[in-house]
Amino acid sequence: MKTWFITGTSSGFGRLLTQKLLIRGDRVAATLRKPEALNDLKAQYGDHLWVAPLDVTDTAAVYQTVARAFTDLGHIDVVVNNAAYALFGAAEEASDEQIRHQFDTNVIGSIQVIRAALPHLRRQGGGRILQVSSEGGQIAYPNFSYYHTTKWAIEGFVEAVAQEVAPFHIEFTLVEPGPAKTNFVGGLITPPPMAVYDHTPAGDMRRALTNGSFIVTGDPDKMVDAMLNSVGQSPAPLRLTLGRDAYTRIRAALVDRLAALDAQKDIAFSTELDS
């Protein structure tokens, strides 16, 4: 039996993870903004489910909640940083407040959960952190500029921190799912659209999501199973790509990026100090 700490458990991957873990007999410390959303699971699983309200944009609450979970449960094997959402619109359509909240949730919130957990994980001799990112942490779609920025940012943070804490037997996995049949689209925050973008890639993306032509093939149930299975891998995979389309798009982007880098090799080498 393992003990897990998971943020953003009201729906989507967070809810599915919580359900599957409880079914198999693990303990879950589940956090979410509206704890009543888990009343059904609490009634069914009792002490195996520890529930606390948490908005990850409240840094003080993050530290208090993480500390209380470790104190109450004694040992936490896996921390799953899942709470996030997407701001959907062209870059100049979003308000300053919307941009700030996107970063406060997806970047600062995720960072503070990790920072709050690290001292506890060090003291207990190690653990695993799953940071839910996205295929959008390595590629980009129009109309998701701020969401992509947050995912690229958290991936850079995790890559660095993973090296810092490896001596303490703390391992990270960046989970990169492609589009899945969750309520992700329903949770999009959409600023008022500007007509000037109607006939641009931003407008095309908006229409694709509204008319259903953006095809979603990812099975969230299978993706969650892959997340759970990854915890049994040693060493931990730094990245876990989920979905055929995600794999295809990320691979194409990396191949193109490598080709562009190789084409600039002579320029790069030419800027060294003369020996």
> Is there a domain that residue 124 lies in?
yes
Q: What does the pLDDT read at residue 108? A: 98
- Catalytic, 147? Answer yes
Give, for 164, the enclosing helix (H) or strand (E): helix 145-165
For residue 180, what pLDDT band results from cuts at 50, 70 and 90?
confident
Residue 31 lies in a domain: yes
Residues 257-263 have a mean pLDDT of 98
Query: What separation in angstroms does the CA of 158 have from each of 121, 191, 237, 238?
Result: 16, 30, 12, 9
Q: Report residue 163: phi and psi, to 5°.
A: -70, -35
What CATH number does residue 10 fall under? 3.40.50.720
pLDDT computed for residue 185 by the predictor: 67
Q: How many distinct structural domains can be found in the chain? A: 1
Per the DSSP assignment, residues forming a β-bridge with 268 are none
Residue 175, token pair as written in the block: 């989970």
- What gap in Å lies between CA 131 and CA 13, rounded to an integer? 12
* 218 assigned to some structural domain: yes
Mean of the pLDDT values across residues 257-268?
97
pLDDT above 80 for 136: yes
Q: Within its chain, how far is the Cα of 12 from the centroid?
A: 12
- Please choose, from the candidates 252, 249, 250, 248, the residue with its C-alpha nearest in 3D space to the C-alpha of residue 239: 250
DSSP letter at 129 equals: E
Domain that holds residue 226: 3-270
Between CA 220 and CA 90 the distance in angstroms is 27
Mean of the pLDDT values across residues 123-144? 96
Non-local CB neighbours of 74 within 8 Å, separated by 6+ positions: 3
Q: How far apart are CA 7 and CA 31, in angstroms?
A: 5
82 neighbors 56 (Cβ within 8 angstroms)? no
pLDDT given at position 217: 83
Residue 146 annotated in active site: no
- Tell me what pLDDT residue 236 has: 97
Q: Which of 45, 141, 146, 147 is catalytic?
A: 147
pLDDT at 190: 87
Other Cβ atoms less than 10 A from the Cβ of 210: the count is 10
Looking at every residue in the chain, the average pLDDT score rounds to: 94
> What is the chain's alpha carbon radius of gyration, rounded to the nearest angstrom?
20
- 2 assigned to active site: no
Enter the pTM of the model: 0.93
Q: How many residues does the chain have?
A: 275
The Cα–Cα gap between 3 and 29 comes to: 8
Distance between CA atoms of residues 132 and 134, nearest Å: 7
**Closest C-alpha among 87, 9, 95 to residue 54:** 9
User: What is the pLDDT averaged over residues 29-42?
Assistant: 95
Q: Is residue 275 part of a domain?
A: no
- The answer to whether residue 133 is domain-embedded is yes
- Catalytic choice (110, 133, 134, 145): 133
* Mean pLDDT value across residues 152-156: 98
Q: Give the model confidence (pLDDT) of 214-243 as tens digits.
A: 777 889 999 999 999 999 999 999 999 999
Mean pLDDT of 69-94: 96
